[in-house]
Amino acid sequence: MALETAVRAVAPAPVKSGADLLHDPLLNKGTAFTREERISLGILGLLPPHVSTMEQQAARALKNVRARATDLEKYIDMLSLMDRNETLYYRVVTDNIEELMPIIYTPTVGKGCQLYAHIFRRSRGIFITKREKGLMERVLRNWANKDVRVIVVTDGERILGLGDLGASGMGIPVGKLALYTACGGVPPEQTLPVTLDVGTNNETLLNDPLYLGVREPRVTGAEYDELVAEFVAAVQKVFPKALIQFEDFANHNAFRLLERYRDAVSCFNDDIQGTAAVTLAGLFSACRVRGTKLSDERILFHGAGEAAIGIGDLVVTAMMAEGTSREEAMKKCWFVDSKALVESTRKDLQDHKKPYAHVHAPIGSLGEAVKALKPTALIGVSGQAQQFTPEIIGDMSRFNKRPVIFALSNPTSKAECTAEQAMTGSDGRALFASGSPFGPVVYKGKTYISGQGNNAYIFPGVGMGAVVCGAKRVTPEMFSEAARVLAGLVTQADLDTGCLYPSLTRIVECSAHIAAATVEVAYKRNLATEPKSKDVLAAVKEKMYKPVYKTYA
């Protein structure tokens, strides 16, 4: 009788109930459900009797993660938490962002992708194969949440610096979207990870009995393009307000897909544009320390793929904004690819490299290029470990009072050099940033804190800005502004420690400001579809997802 009275006293919630509720990670609160909620929602007796606070739950979850012996085990533990209770997951992540970002994304996500089939627990996201040709709209409509605003899609061909991982690359869209929510405030129910499983040329995967993807060579050519085109068209019909982020596509597809769709739908390529923006922000910060303008710098890139060319293009745009001509700005950017210096006599260059093929005698190695060109900044985006040798770091330090050395390849095992190598090799003078995190370096009694040139500083804010204003397109100008905003948030205290980026503990703040700048560009260029608020920054902060529980009663 008491139970019946209690049930009548509490209004039924318009959500799932019973075990279905506990199995929905977007709605589940676990032991934080109050007794009244447990009665009204049909879950009384399905949980231990104690009602926990979110703080108690977070402490328990974090203690369990920290108890794991390896980062991979921590990664799996965090994925399991996401599968059970997304609100708690994001609370734990946002409250411990410096500790957990390397676990839920780079560098640990790389290992998670390599072992995806072996650690698989629960499917997350949508997998599309060539067998779904003609059915993509139907497949997308199978997704439970209908108001999707951000999609991260990969074909798994170039996962981080690890290469072709096929369907196992799904860990990247999942991880990226977790950062969209934790760092940028995009509600998790508005995100969708997608893998276009077009096969793999990775023989190890093809021979792995546990591999979960299509066991065929990669689809290429016209058939590949038709699949991507159908996917993009299906998104426009099923999720017309969604932004598409292309992620970890190989060079031969990344540039042309971006070129094909950037002016047709709301999309961008984070490897090209996000990497460019976060690197440009680091260069702006380095210029503050050096007392120079960006257009005073001569930049040498080790690598000439999508990340390197993307950075070069955005740097050129930024130099032009300082009054430098396009021709002169391009001549300040040099590239060394896997074969040699990119220069005008080479006949083997891909189209995306040709604009930077300047007149110069052939040079066969990075070390020789450093000696000949005497760059002020050396940026590694090659995916090749330990390429910045002690000799190269020494030469950069002889040519420059404060050499700029960015080892941006990730995961950590692919970094061109470590923070310690950069600081000791330059006698503590290097302005260093990396793609994966390195701990503080103590050299000659001084502690140096290196910044992480992490795309997570950029893409969540740009994406959130696009969501807030309903941007019809995502433009290069948005990334230029994002870089300027991020650099502007670096304090003198940051620079004094050697760090060229704000602390990761401020990443939500950074994302809010970048989102606001993105919104302003969208309105300026007539690309917004939502009404403009009087205070754009305040409107962005108001709409950002907060990891707090809803009350069901």
Contacts 24+ apart (CB under 8 A), 207-213: 208/117, 210/117, 210/118, 211/117, 211/166, 211/167, 211/168, 212/116, 212/117, 212/120, 212/167, 212/168, 213/127, 213/156, 213/166, 213/167, 213/168
Q: Please report whether residue 498 resides in a domain.
A: no
**Rounded to whole angstroms, how far apart are CA atoms 543 and 405?**
38
**Rounded to whole angstroms, how far apart are CA atoms 238 and 218?**
27
Q: Please report whether residue 550 resides in a domain.
A: no
pLDDT digits (tens, 9 = 90+) for 136-192: 999 999 999 999 999 999 999 999 889 999 999 999 999 999 999 999 999 999 999
Total domain count, the chain: 3
CATH number at residue 27: 1.20.1370.30
Same domain? 158 vs 184: yes
pLDDT score recorded for residue 166: 98
What percentage of the chain has pLDDT greater than the value 90?
A: 94
63 noted as active-site residue: no
Mean pLDDT of 204-211: 97
Mean pLDDT of 403-425: 95
**pLDDT above 50: residue 268:** yes
Q: Which structural domain range is residue 244 located in?
A: 106-265
Same domain? 196 vs 184: yes
DSSP letter for each residue of 343-358: BTT-S---TTTGGG-B
* Least reliable range by pLDDT among 6-20, 186-200, 379-393, 492-506: 6-20
Mean pLDDT of 10-31: 81
Q: Please report whether residue 475 resides in a domain.
A: no
Same domain? 76 vs 118: no
pLDDT score recorded for residue 315: 97
Q: Please report whether residue 543 resides in a domain.
A: no
Mean pLDDT of 296-311: 96
Same domain? 377 vs 415: yes
Q: Please report whether residue 297 resides in a domain.
A: yes
Task: Name 151's bridge partners.
Answer: 192, 244
pLDDT score recorded for residue 199: 98
**pLDDT above 90: residue 241:** yes
pTM for the full predicted model: 0.93
Of 29, 74, 111, 176, which is the active-site residue?
Answer: 176
Same domain? 73 vs 60: yes
CATH number at residue 211: 3.40.50.10380
pLDDT score recorded for residue 436: 87
pLDDT score recorded for residue 11: 38
Same domain? 352 vs 411: yes
Q: What are the residues whose beta carbons fall under 8 Å from the beta carbon of 96, sequence distance 6 or more?
A: 62
What average pLDDT does the structure give for the chain?
Answer: 95
**pLDDT above 60: residue 13:** no
Q: Which helix (H) or strand (E) holds 126?
A: strand 126-129
Same domain? 257 vs 138: yes
* Least reliable range by pLDDT among 7-16, 37-46, 293-302, 488-497: 7-16
Residue 260's alpha-carbon distances to 243, 265, 353, 467, 479, in angstroms, are: 15, 10, 18, 22, 19
**pLDDT above 70: residue 407:** yes
How does 523-535 read in b/e, with b if 16+ C-beta sit within 10 Å? eeeebbeeeebee
What percentage of the chain has pLDDT greater than the value 70?
A: 97
Of 75, 89, 105, 552, which is the active-site residue?
Answer: 105
* Least reliable range by pLDDT among 159-163, 389-393, 454-458: 159-163
How sure is the predictor about 553, in pLDDT bands with cuts at 50, 70 and 90?
low
Same domain? 279 vs 410: yes
Q: Please report whether residue 110 resides in a domain.
A: yes
Same domain? 316 vs 290: yes
pLDDT score recorded for residue 283: 98
CATH number at residue 327: 3.40.50.720
pLDDT digits (tens, 9 = 90+) for 324-352: 999 999 999 999 999 999 999 999 999 99
**pLDDT above 80: residue 15:** no
Same domain? 112 vs 81: no
**pLDDT above 90: residue 240:** yes
pLDDT digits (tens, 9 = 90+) for 76-97: 999 999 999 999 999 999 999 9
**pLDDT above 50: residue 367:** yes
Q: What are the residues whose beta carbons fall under 8 Å from the beta carbon of 4, sequence distance 6 or more?
A: none
Same domain? 305 vs 397: yes
Domain boundary (245, 265, 285) is at: 265
Same domain? 171 vs 231: yes
pLDDT score recorded for residue 541: 97
pLDDT digits (tens, 9 = 90+) for 520-540: 999 999 999 999 999 999 999
Whether the Cβ atoms of residue 205 and residue 168 lie closer than 8 Å to each other: yes
116 noted as active-site residue: no
Q: Which helix (H) or strand (E) holds 524?
A: helix 507-524
Q: Please report whether residue 482 resides in a domain.
A: no
Q: Please report whether residue 59 resides in a domain.
A: yes
